[in-house]
Amino acid sequence: MTDSKPSPPPSPADLGATRTSSFPPVRQIDTAAPVRWLAAGWRDLRRAPSASLFYGAAFTLMGWLIYFVFRHAHEYTSALTAGFLLLGPFLCTGLYDISRRLAAGQPVRLGDTMSAWRANLGAFSLFALVLTVVMLVWARASLITFALFFSSGMPSLSGFIGRVASPEHWDFLLTYFAVGSVFATIVFALSVVSVPLMLARGTDTVVAAITSVRALAANPLPLLLWAALIVLLVGAGFVTLFVGLLVAVPVVGHATWHAYVDIVGEQ
């Protein structure tokens, strides 16, 4: 009879690999949850105003930079501004880390939040690459849409909004927003909870993205309401010449962390 040695216990690395490769369960939420997330996001902003407003200021300054660099090419301004916001789920990683630290009772230091993505470098890098590709494709699609409807040349700044919003260009507006909605929906589906999930649990990009899509499928109405609130707040930031993004971005970023906690966070 041959003695067989018992298999050694799994190492912490093996346990970590098992943990991060499994799909977390997705919980169902009620339609009032997005409002609670915004309230929680506002509380986080008030608890860590300096670090939070830094990220809001970065979005505001980026909006101004895009506008002034491309102020004579409005099609580039609109395409790059919207494209820049498609990268928002990744660029708000620091805001998620602020909320995570506040919930854990840890001190909030801006420098630490700016490098939070390094804890899961491979997953964050791949996700950022995916969002960048989506942004570049959107920018090209946006320019093609402008070219199709304004083949005779773009209107001047003074007449741009008037011409674009005039009844004779409603077909352009419908087409432009339809195309933009496709890209926004893709990014939203992939990023509802994916970045906070990669930050909190160290999951890989594929697991995080699929979990995000599952979350949207399990909670279509509440998360569509959440998407509408994001559009409303970001839109308010746009109509105030990007100044509103100073507050809107931190509130939405913090609220996204609380959305993750409600839907797939560990309890």
What are the pLDDT digits (tens) for 217-259?
999 999 999 999 998 998 898 889 889 999 999 999 999 999 9
pLDDT at 9: 44
- The pLDDT assigned to 10 comes to 42
pLDDT at residue 22, rounded to an integer: 77
> Rounded mean pLDDT of the chain?
83
pLDDT digits (tens, 9 = 90+) for 88-120: 888 899 999 999 999 999 999 999 999 998 889
Question: What pLDDT is recorded for position 71?
Answer: 66
d(CA 251, CA 160): 31
Nearest to 33 by CA among 265, 262, 266, 195: 262
What is the token pair recorded at 53? 């407003």
Per-residue pLDDT at 137 exceeds 60? yes
User: What digits encode the pLDDT tens for the residues 8-23?
Assistant: 444 333 444 444 447 8
What pLDDT band is residue 66 in, cutting at 50, 70 and 90?
A: confident
Across 129-138, average pLDDT = 86
Among 195, 199, 190, 201, which residue's Cα sits nearest to residue 22? 201
Per-residue model confidence (pLDDT) at position 267: 55
Task: Please indicate whether residue 16 or residue 124 has the higher confidence score (pLDDT).
Answer: 124
Phi-psi region of 202 (alpha: psi -120 to 50; beta: other; left: phi over 0): left
Distance (Å, rounded) from C-alpha 225 to C-alpha 237? 19
231 vs 227: CA distance, rounded Å: 6
User: Residue 21's pLDDT is what?
Assistant: 45
Predicted confidence at residue 143, as pLDDT, reads: 75
Say if CB 93 and CB 124 are below 8 A apart. Answer: yes
pLDDT at position 166: 56
Kindly report the number of other CB atoms within 10 A of residue 61's CB atom. Answer: 13
- The pLDDT value given to residue 183: 86
- Residue 262 pLDDT: 96
Q: What's the confidence (pLDDT) of residue 217?
A: 96
Cβ partners under 8 Å of residue 239, min gap 6: none
Domain boundaries, the chain: 29-263
Q: State the pLDDT at residue 162.
A: 54
Q: Per residue in 199-237, is it b (16+ CB within 10 Å) or e — as a string?
A: bbbebbbebbbebbbbbbebbeebbebbbebbeebbeeb
Query: What is the DSSP secondary-structure string of 146-200?
Result: HHHH-TT-PPPHHHHHHHHTSGGGHHHHHHHHHHHHHHHHHHHHHHSSHHHHHHH
Distance between CA 224 and CA 220 in Å, rounded?
Answer: 6
Written as one letter, the residue type at 104 is A
Q: Quick one: pLDDT at residue 182?
A: 86
Looking at residue 74, what is its pLDDT? 61
Q: Give the other-Cβ count within 10 Å of 169's Cβ.
A: 17
Give residue 12's pLDDT: 38
Structure confidence at residue 144 as a pLDDT band (50, 70, 90): confident
DSSP string, 80-98: HHHHHHHTHHHHTHHHHHH
Q: What is the pTM of this model?
A: 0.80
Query: Mean of the pLDDT values across residues 152-158?
Result: 52
Mean pLDDT to the nearest integer, 59-80: 74
Q: By percentage, how much of the chain surpasses pLDDT 90?
A: 52
